[in-house]
Amino acid sequence: MNETPDVYGAYPRLEDYQLAELMELGERRAVGVGDVLYRAGELPGELLIVLAGQVVVLEDLGPHRRVIAVHGPHRFLGEIGLLTGQPVFLTAEVAEPGDVLAVPLERLRELVGRDQQLADLILRSFLVRRSLQLSLGAGFAVIGSHFSADTRRIREFAARNRLPHHWIDLEHDEEAERLIRELGIDRRDTPVVIWRGDVLRNPDNDQLAAAVGLKGPPPARATHDLVVVGAGPAGLAAGVYAASEGLATVVVDAVATGGQAGTSSRIENYLGFPAGISGAELADRAVAQAKRFGAELMVPAAVTGLGRLDGHHVVRLDSGENLQARAVLVASGAHYRQLDLPGLDRLGPSSVYYAATELEANLCRRDPVVVVGGGNSAGQASVFLADHAAHIRLVVRSKELGANMSRYLADRIEATPAIEVLLHSEVRELRGDTALESILIEDLCSHRRQLAPARALFVFIGSDPHVDWLGGQVELDDRRFVLTGNQLPGARKLLESSRPGVFAAGDVRSGSVKRVAAAVGDGALAVRLVHEYLAHI
């Protein structure tokens, strides 16, 4: 069996000096053919390096096994979960007898803290491996109809959390009917998730998260220095800075890490990444960094309220758990508004999207689509989808493309033949029977209407903040964003809300700049202000 070629740095060979360093920290073990080094769903506590022989990494779904990679000497095994505390999604099995080196994660962390080159090599390899797993659909299986709202919910949850999976479409996949017969599943029971030999019938997000090991145990500490609500760029930045400075920190998010930025195909104007970086990779790097410094992450965990108890703030979760904190950072972000359109209730669940990731792009491959919005999110989505869709119509209310969009994006859109820009225009109606077929678009100047063929609509218009959970505990502006600092009467710290000890950062804050760098800056600054607050209570 030949070793898998190193694809984009996913499977590098360790240098002799790196292997020598690791040999001093680990234990050499003899392995035989068929030995399972770890199984999908497990949380390995060590990094494994192949010293002699061969190891295959494979997808194991019961009767269906697929080899993903083959590792020989000087190759290391593992996935990003080793750094973020999540289980692996693939199984490692010995194909040729030999020896492996097992390095406990605690000792590995000590080494990578001293050897930056090795740390970068391992992190980058794990990130690329996760991207390859996602593109290959190597993980759990989702069987369901593309007309089903629950199928879409499960797939979106998996995509937002970057959980490797593949979708078997009941309508278009020839294997679907045979597979559900083999598993004894009735079509009415779909969607189902197949994972580690188990069949989960239409699991909710919490059930799926628990099944794949995404949800860890609740924090053991009774009172935390800081609870951060929201794991977008602002919340993750706060988690990194707070934990690195010794604050007992918990970051909570209802859906996934990364926030809206996590759904961006490429962020090209973020400092330090001249070639750009995907929102998913930025989030994965931030999570690994926060975990390294000791921050605890609870995802998914929906926050339902904010209260007080014994002089502390209490963040209430939908699970019934309460998190007590000396300070709270509101970084719960915002979500794109829905269009109020005829046909949305009927066609929205199957054809209207509020993110443009690989998941959505694959659903509309070689189809005409419409994108609505004039900001950077709409621009990034249009450029990304241009490599997948047959034709894109970008519908913009303003009379100039660059009015609310970065110039580099506007220039790229204007230079992309697959994108047609419709300025001073609005969408009026969605048409189709069981799925979207066309969209009625009106020119606001001439009032002329055109019926544009479309199989998907992507909406990136104005946003509304996630603040319902605050329950009136802090003051909001007339658009329901959190007021902070000099926006409030009296002397208050820059990002402090009307309730002492409760701060706000990122898109949820009134007057914030809707940019990733600004959100990260908010998160870092909030931690300094939290330190000052805690020093005086």
Tokens representing 276 are 């750009």
Which residue carries 């390995």 as its tokens?
44
CATH match of 223-335+464-535 with 3.50.50.60: yes
Q: Which contacts qualify for 408-415: CB closer than 8 Å, 24 or more apart?
A: 408/268, 408/269, 409/268, 409/376, 409/379, 409/380, 409/383, 410/379, 412/379, 412/383, 413/379, 413/382, 413/383
pLDDT tens profile 365-386: 899 999 999 999 999 999 999 9
Region 140-212: CATH code: 3.40.30.10
Q: Which one, of 480, 514, 475, 478, lies nearest residue 492 by Cα?
A: 475
pLDDT at residue number 294: 94
Residue spans in the chain of domains classed CATH 3.40.30.10:
140-212
Residue spans in the chain of domains classed CATH 3.50.50.60:
223-335+464-535, 344-459
Residue 181 banded pLDDT, cuts 50, 70, 90: confident
pLDDT at residue number 87: 92
Q: Which one, of 370, 372, 417, lies nearest residue 398 by Cα?
A: 372
The class level of CATH for 344-459 reads alpha beta
pLDDT tens profile 338-375: 999 999 999 998 899 999 988 888 888 899 999 999 99
Question: Does the pLDDT value for residue 61 go beyond 80?
Answer: no
pLDDT at residue number 63: 64
Q: What is the mean pLDDT of residues 63-88?
A: 92
Whether pTM exceeds 0.85: yes
CATH topology of domain 16-136: Jelly Rolls (2.60.120)
pLDDT at residue number 60: 82
Higher pLDDT, 103 or 264: 103
Q: What is the mean pLDDT of residues 452-458?
A: 97
pLDDT at residue number 7: 85
pLDDT at residue number 62: 65
pLDDT at residue number 371: 98
pLDDT at residue number 220: 85
| Rounded distance between C-alpha atoms, residue 81 and residue 122, angstroms | 12
Amino acid at 448: R
pLDDT tens profile 400-437: 998 899 999 999 999 999 999 999 999 999 999 888 99
Q: Across the strands, what pairs with 277?
A: 267
Question: Does the pLDDT value for residue 64 go beyond 80?
Answer: no
Reduce the DSSP state of residue 178 to 3 states and report it.
Answer: helix
Residue spans in the chain of domains classed CATH 2.60.120.10:
16-136
